[in-house]
């Protein structure tokens, strides 16, 4: 089951996995999953640059391999990269061994990061134990639902703005599925977050 706001009991149950940073500062964390993409990443980077916001990009190894210059661009602009497996693998359909192999294949493309986010937010406990030895597992506490077909800009804004709190980790997608809706309302959402007194930090 997917929630817009990750419930407290799940956050507490998995205390070794990061859902939201504990902080008294009005600081939030913007994350973009599934890139890099040929054209859309560039649009996102330009927008973030114009608003002076830094974000974390959880990239798919296969996409990163095809677009090395975009990966360099993300880093050169001061953003952070995280591992999102090589082939966007679903952990629930994988053995721990084959799943970790996919993570390692992604690591070969982006060797420096120690952040990992599982596709679909899915992991078995045995996989968590294995991955934790090598990476910091980062989930989220706000899923924007930008990937949902026909979601309205109003609903998307509401999902993010009404669930925001200190240390929130927000998920958007650097993917074809989310491109249209984000081009329509991402700027507005980010500006509103700033107007609410929050600053953006990287993980």
Can you give the binding site for Zn ion, defined by CB under 5 A?
33-34, 119
> Is 61 or 119 the residue whose CB approaches Zn ion more closely?
119
Count of other CB atoms within 10 angstroms of residue 95? 12
Task: Indicate the residue among 33 and 141 with the shorter CB distance to Zn ion.
Answer: 33
Q: Which is nearer to Zn ion, 34 or 141 (CB)?
A: 34
User: Which residue is catalytic, options 33, 34, 146, 174?
Assistant: 33
Closest CB to Zn ion among residues 168, 175: 175
* Min dist. Cβ of residue 191 to Zn ion (A): 26
Would you call 33 a catalytic residue per the annotation?
yes
Q: In whole angstroms, how close is the CB of 34 to Zn ion at the nearest point?
A: 4
Closest by Cα among 136, 193, 133 to 21: 136
- Which is it for the CA torsion 133, 121, 201, 69, positive or negative? positive
> Closest approach of Cβ 151 to Zn ion, in Å?
17
Structure tokens at 98: 């084959």
- The one catalytic residue in 79, 84, 88, 173 is 173
103 neighbors 130 (Cβ within 8 angstroms):
no
Assess whether 173 carries a catalytic annotation: yes
Of the pair 167, 174, the CB lying nearest Zn ion is at 174
d(CA 81, CA 62): 14
Q: How many CB atoms lie within 10 A of CB 201?
A: 18
Q: Where in the sequence numbering do the catalytic residues fall?
A: 33, 173
């Amino acid at each position: 089951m997917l929630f817009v706001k990750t419930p407290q009991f799940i956050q507490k149950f998995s205390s070794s996995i990061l859902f939201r940073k504990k902080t008294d500062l009005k600081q939030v964390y913007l994350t973009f999953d599934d890139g890099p993409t040929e054209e859309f990443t560039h649009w996102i980077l330009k927008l973030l640059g114009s608003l002076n916001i830094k974000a974390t990009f959880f990239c798919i190894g296969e996409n990163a391999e095809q677009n090395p210059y975009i990966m360099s661009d993300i880093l050169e602009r001061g953003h952070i990269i995280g591992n999102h497996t090589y082939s966007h693998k679903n952990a629930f359909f994988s053995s721990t061994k084959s799943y970790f192999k996919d993570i390692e294949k992604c690591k070969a493309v982006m060797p420096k990061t120690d952040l990992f986010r599982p596709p679909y937010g899915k992991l078995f406990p045995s996989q968590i134990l294995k991955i934790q030895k090598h990476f910091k597992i980062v989930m989220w506490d706000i899923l924007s639902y930008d990937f949902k077909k026909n979601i309205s800009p109003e609903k998307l804004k509401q999902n993010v703005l009404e669930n925001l709190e200190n240390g929130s980790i927000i998920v958007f997608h650097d993917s074809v599925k989310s491109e249209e809706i984000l081009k329509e309302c991402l700027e507005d959402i980010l500006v509103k977050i700033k107007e609410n007194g929050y600053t953006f930090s990287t993980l």
